[in-house]
Amino acid sequence: MTLGPRPTALITGATRGIGRAIALDLGQTHRVILGGRDQAALDALAAELPDAATWAADVATGDLDGLLPLIDGGLDVLVHSAGVLGGTAVADTPVDEWRRVFEINVFAVAEITRIALPALRASQGTVILINSGSGFVSGPRGSVYAASKFALRALADALRDEERANGVRVSSVHPGRTDTDMQHELVEAQGGSYDESLYLHADDIARAVRLVVDLPHGAVAETVSVRPLGR
């Protein structure tokens, strides 16, 4: 029996946390394009996978050169996992910080998707946006990050209906608090104590993404919310 070529998945933010877990999981069945800023970290991750290419880019600058040649052979799955924390109380957050967070969490997602859409339409592929519990609710000192995630959810909802006729599936995956470097940074900034047992693991979110990807093409998991059982 001759197996056909592997489908291709592009994962941004692939070298850390949730993005890395997704890359390691999808990399078992897909050719993966690993997106991130650190070429050495990308190369190290690619060495762990059967079929991987790297795309080193700082999406905050809007410089996305090199993406089109990588997806020229086709693209089946696009996972947006790159993201940043930022901001504090509204009264204390300058506009440049709002711009920085939105540049990475929203604007880069929109532009990468725009560039990738012709390939995704050709394959009737899947777009997965890694959002957050903060994409549903905000709180004190969390307005900047939550606003970017609310905007990301709006982007996903619009894109889903725009691309439905083209056969492109669009899913938002909303992890609850997950044991990652970003979560450690958040708890430290808030002056709290860290109890690993109360958090999801990055592999839990990778499994949720796998569920979305492996659904029959006639079905789409539009919104997937994953929360730790203990909180």
The number of beta carbons lying within 10 Å of the beta carbon of residue 162 is: 12
Alpha helix locations (H) across the chain?
17-26, 39-46, 67-71, 95-102, 108-123, 143-163, 181-190, 202-214
Measured between alpha carbons, how far is 205 from 36 in angstroms, rounded to an integer? 19
Q: Is 190 helix (H, G, I), strand (E, B) or coil?
A: helix
List the beta bridge partners of residue 79.
11, 128
Measured between alpha carbons, how far is 197 from 228 in angstroms, rounded to an integer? 9
- DSSP category for residue 142: -
Radius of gyration of the CA atoms of the chain, in A: 17
Q: Is 36 helix (H, G, I), strand (E, B) or coil?
A: strand
List Cβ neighbours of 218 (8 Å cut-off, separation of 6 or more): none
Residue tagged active-site, from 9, 23, 131, 145? 145
**17 close to 201: Cβ distance less than 8 angstroms:** no
The number of beta carbons lying within 10 Å of the beta carbon of residue 89 is: 11
Asked about 145 being catalytic, the answer comes back as yes
Encode 130-158: b = buried (16+ Cβ within 10 Å), e = exposed. bbbbbbeeeeebbbbbbbbbbbbbebbee
What is the set of active-site residues?
A: 145
